Structures are given as C-alpha cells and as structure tokens.
C-alpha cells in the first residue's frame, strides 16, 4: 500500500527536528505526559528527554512567566523611584 496518509497512525512527527518518523519498528521513542513521541535519531531523542517542554511548547509557558515577573519588577521600580 502506497497510499498511507501523511498524518496517519503509522507515522509521527519528530518534535525536535520536525521529521516524519515511522512508528512501526521505531527505535527512538520516549514517553512524556502520557503520550509517546518518536524521533529520527538517538540524538533528537536525547535532546527531547533533556528538555521536553522546550520542544512541546516553544513560545507558551516559557515566555509568559518572565513577562509577568517583568511587570511586577517594573511596578516595584516605579514605587521605589517615587519614594
């Protein structure tokens, strides 16, 4: 069968480099948050297991907390300057 859909159940996306990985017989995989992720190489798998959130949420979470901290620090600085 040559008509496998691109996002079918037999392939998965490597969250590190974006490559399409065959699930059948995959050697490089890791479980995270109840989901199994597949990788093109042991190197991509090692990168993911070291910092899973970096590859799962590129912009969210990591960026929001520092923004809030900046706002609070800004208020403190303003109050401090006024006094």
Q: Which neighbouring-strand residues pair with 35?
A: 32
C-alpha–C-alpha distance, residues 30 and 15, integer Å = 11
Binders of Zn ion among 58-77, rule CB under 5 A?
A: none
In the complex, minimum distance from the CB of residue 40 to Zn ion, in angstroms, rounded to a whole number: 4
Reading the block at residue 12, the tokens are 């998965």
User: Which of the residues 10 through 39 are near Zn ion (CB under 5 A)?
Assistant: 14, 16-17, 19
Judging by DSSP bridges, how do beta strands 35-38 and 29-32 pair with one another? antiparallel
Work out which of 15, 37, 38, 44 binds Zn ion, going by CB under 5 A.
44
Give contact residues for Zn ion (rule: CB under 5 A). 14, 16-17, 19, 40, 44
């Amino acid at each position: 069968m040559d008509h496998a859909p691109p996002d079918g159940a037999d392939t998965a996306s490597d969250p590190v480099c974006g490559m399409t990985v065959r699930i059948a017989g995959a050697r490089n995989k890791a479980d995270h948050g109840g989901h199994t992720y597949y990788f093109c190489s042991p190197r991509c798998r090692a990168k993911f297991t070291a910092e899973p959130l970096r590859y799962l949420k590129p912009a969210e979470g990591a960026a929001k907390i520092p923004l809030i901290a900046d706002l609070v620090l800004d208020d403190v600085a303003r109050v401090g300057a006024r006094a």
